[in-house]
A and B are shown apart, each in its own frame.
Chain A
Amino acid sequence: MALIEARNLVKSYAQAGAAMRALDDVSLDVNPGELMLLVGPSGSGKTTLLSIVGCILRPTSGSLRVLGDEVTRLRERDLPAIRRERIGFVFQAFNLFPTLTALQNVALALDLKGISGSAARDRAALLLDQVGLGAKRESYPADLSGGQKQRVAIARALAGDPPVILADEPTAALDSQSGRAVMNLLQQLAHERNRAIAIVTHDNRMLGYADRTVHMEDGRIISDERSQLPEGAVA
């Protein structure tokens, strides 16, 4: 079963008195164990689609199911819980909290779920170990390299153990070596831990990591290509 099922999504904005369609009748499934890339030129609607799928932005029309639940009819105040419990986010600029250590950054995501104290610290330390940053848990973001920051951000995204991870240009601010390390980590999460991972990227070097590549242009999906299906994954 797809963890995310988007059907006929439309997102319109009023621009200079005219309606502009950022998304135009987009349907898409995001499956567990699959690393999906959303690619396309600037303004093609990739980030709008990611924002809607992440329950951050509401579509003008269409249907969106997250883990089987229709979310477009939910009230605004109910959406944070969906994001908190079901989706992890990784951002282009890392969006770490500069006043908190790596450990505290990860623990903060648990704090949002009401998990605090030693339980949060232990879980955060485990996640930092898993992304290879166990030795940097007391470092502040300013003292970490770009690749390390992004790995902390990935650990933070995993803190609530969400089945879906959405990433916006996660390698854009990284050198190629760090970019590869981050993509390896995300691929590992998809294939070994059965996460559904959707990544918006402009970086063609990352195409090799994709199980599936969705091309967008002018708010529409123009192609949806699958690489070989990973072993054990459900399409």
Chain B
Amino acid sequence: MTLRISPLAWRNLVHDKVRLLVTVTGVVFAVVLIVVELGLFLGFTTTTSGLIDRSGADLWITGARVPYIEMGVPYSERKLATVLATPGVAHATKTIVRFAQWQRHDGRQESVMVIGFDPNQSLGGPWNVVAGRVADLKLADNVIVDELYKDKLGVAHLDETFEIRGHRARVAGFTSGIRSFTTSPYVFTSFKSAQDFATIAEDQTVFILVKAAPRQDVEQLRSRLLARVKDVDVLTTAEFSSKTRFYWMFTTGAGVAVLLAAVLGLVVGVVVVAQTIYATTMDHLAEYGTLKAMGATNGYLYRVIIQQAVISAIVGYSLAMIVSTFVVRGSAKGGAAILLPLPMAIGMLGLTIVMCTGAALVSINKVTRLDPATVFKG
């Protein structure tokens, strides 16, 4: 089978422009649906573990059996000294991740997720800071929130003051694009302020973040820490990230729903494309019979039909990517991120071609069974 496009495949496809439009629309609809659902899934998973993935830490020390980041339990901060004394630790810092209540000027309460970290260190802080500086959080009560949640939190500009659990909170900066998977926006602040905002006792922390020394094997360091620090779990960043993602995506069912919608998109695409390619094949069945009589092999006819499917796939995919780009860009300002990384875009091309060629199998079956003797039956 050669890659050369059969003139018959191309001409049959473009001859009936309405049918081509229906086929391509079906492909576009299916691909956009799949991209949106998979993009949402990817956006959700990235969001759920964003704090962990962007923490800069190699290891997370959590209370025993903590299932995901939002469920951290406080433990004695004295363990930090033991951690810092462990060979192979470059530096370590206390971190708090805890729900709290934000009070707007209009009196309305909003749930927030307070992230307390040490602004003097590089672990666990905010990224994409677009106003203010991380160093501003060294001042007591200062917080950084994301621009996406200004309306939700009632923030109009920098230096505004709010209350978190009765404690003063001054907006010292903004980040861009740091979403929370839950409905509670992240509020970055110093570890000390977070203890006040989240009512964590002064001698307690929720996590300890560890950066391994250069060339230190992280697994070895983990074993060392587990031997020295009692009643905690020591997880690599990848493990804790995966644990958190799994909880939100599969234990809650949120990810399953999104994945099911993506599968639904695939099924819709296959059905629409199969129906139109089948109708096109049926319209040209007599021609396929003629080709068979003239000595065309089944392989030649499969090539014609598959090429029609692949052309439909490529045209539909190209248009769908244009639509998807707009959808993805639009989602950047919304509450739910839809991601479309390059590997996913390339993978979607493969999936679209598989979907369309799969849809052509019904037609191929029909042509395989076609009796060339029909050409002599009027």
Q: Which residues of A contact B (CB under 8 A)?
A: 47, 50-51, 54, 56-57, 77, 80-85, 87, 89, 91-93, 95, 97-100, 104, 107-109, 111-112, 116, 156, 160, 168
Contacts and interface: CB of A to CB of B under 8 A. Distances in A.
B89 to A, nearest CB: 69
Main secondary structure of the interface of B (DSSP, over half): helix
Given A99-B11, A100-B7, A89 B375 contact: yes
B12 interface: yes
A54 B293 contact: yes
B242 interface: no
A47 B295 contact: no
Given A108-B8, A160-B295, 14 more contacts: A47-B376, A54-B293, A56-B376, A57-B373, A84-B295, A89-B293, A91-B375, A97-B287, A97-B290, A99-B12, A108-B7, A109-B294, A112-B295, A168-B376
A1 to B, nearest CB: 23
Contacts of B286: 95
Interface string B339-378: 0000000000000000000000000000000001101111
A104 B376 CA distance: 23
A83 B295 contact: yes
Contacts of A92: 378
Contacts of B295: 80-85, 87, 112, 160
Contact of B376 (A81, A84, A91): A91
Contacts of A107: 7
A56 B7 contact: no
Contact of A112 (B294, B373, B375): B294
Contacts of A80: 292, 295-297
Interface string B285-321: 0110011111111001000000000000000000000
Interface residues of B, number: 24
B4 interface: yes
B275 interface: no
A57 B7 CA distance: 28
A179 B108 CA distance: 92
A100 B378 contact: no
Given A81-B295, A84-B295, A112-B291, A104 B11 contact: yes
Nearest to A156: B294
B111 interface: no
B6 interface: yes
Contacts of B293: 54, 56, 83, 89
Interface in B249-301: 286-287, 290-297, 300
Nearest to B300: A112
22 contacts: A47-B377, A51-B376, A54-B293, A56-B293, A56-B372, A56-B373, A56-B375, A80-B295, A82-B295, A83-B295, A84-B295, A89-B375, A91-B290, A95-B290, A95-B375, A97-B290, A98-B15, A104-B7, A107-B7, A108-B291, A111-B7, A156-B294
Contacts of B6: 111
B351 to A, nearest CB: 29
Contacts of A160: 295
A200 to B, nearest CB: 8
Q: Which of A92, A109, A111 has the most CB of B within 10 A?
A: A111
B313 to A, nearest CB: 20
Nearest to B287: A97
A24 to B, nearest CB: 19
B15 A83 contact: no
Contacts of B373: 51, 56-57
A49 B297 CA distance: 22
B308 to A, nearest CB: 12
Interface in B10-28: 11-12, 15
CB-based closest 9 A-B pairs: A84-B295, A83-B295, A99-B11, A99-B15, A95-B290, A80-B295, A47-B376, A56-B372, A56-B373
